[in-house]
Each structure stands twice: as structure tokens, then as C-alpha cells.
């Protein structure tokens, strides 16, 4: 396998990982909320009206997929998009789903 083929395969694998990560209703809502601004778990749970435990579970999946990242601020874990281009994907999905 050439270096170019290996790089193409790696990019394809990363795209699949991102699409799998966003292919869940709660995770997609979390991504949309984080696209607006970084937030901590409780703020996400309140905004999305989803139990904090479920938000934490979905954030773990998003972190493992390298879609979101976390920073500690004043003792709170504040989450933000690691893949900033997901904002563009959300806009694209909005346009595609406009009926």
C-alpha cells in the first residue's frame, strides 16, 4: 500500500468514526448545543432536558471518537467541539432536511 493510499484509508476511517458518533439523536443534540458554545454536563442536561447520566454517557462516546474535548475550569469539566467543522456539517444537514 502506498503512502497516499494509506492516507486516504485513514481519512475515510476518520470520516466513518465521526458519522457514527453523530448518528444518535442525543449525541447530535449535544453536538448542536456545543456548536453554539462550550458547556458543562449539567448545562447540557438542562438545555436538552435529558438526564445528566445519559449526557455523560454520550459525551464519553463523543470524546472517544475525538469529536468533543474537555477542559477543566473552576473545577468543572467544560466540553467543546474538537472537530470545529462539525458546525458546517450541522448546517449542511439543516439544508438537506429543510422541507
DSSP, residue by residue, 11-58: HHHHHHHHHHHHSSHHHHHHHHHHHH--EEHHHHHHHHT--HHHHHHH
Q: What's the CATH number where 86 sits?
A: 1.10.10.10
Total domains present in the chain: 1
Question: Does residue 98 surpass a pLDDT of 80?
Answer: no
Residue 58 CB coordination number (10 Å): 23
pTM here? 0.85
Question: Does residue 99 surpass a pLDDT of 80?
Answer: no
Q: What are phi and psi of 76, to 5 degrees?
A: -105, 145
pLDDT, tens digit, 9 for 90 and up, residues 50-87:
999 999 999 999 999 999 999 998 888 999 999 888 88
27: closest CA among 94, 78, 86, 77? 86
Amino acid at each position: 500500500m502506498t503512502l497516499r493510499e494509506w492516507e486516504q484509508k485513514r481519512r475515510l476511517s476518520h470520516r466513518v468514526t465521526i458519522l457514527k458518533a453523530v448518528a444518535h439523536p442525543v449525541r447530535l443534540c449535544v453536538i448542536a448545543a456545543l456548536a453554539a458554545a462550550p458547556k458543562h454536563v449539567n448545562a447540557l442536561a438542562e438545555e436538552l432536558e435529558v438526564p445528566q447520566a445519559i449526557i455523560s454517557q454520550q459525551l464519553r462516546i463523543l470524546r472517544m471518537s475525538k469529536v468533543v474535548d474537555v477542559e477543566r475550569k473552576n473545577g468543572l469539566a467544560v466540553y467543546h467541539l474538537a472537530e470545529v467543522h462539525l458546525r458546517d456539517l450541522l448546517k449542511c444537514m439543516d439544508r438537506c432536511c429543510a422541507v
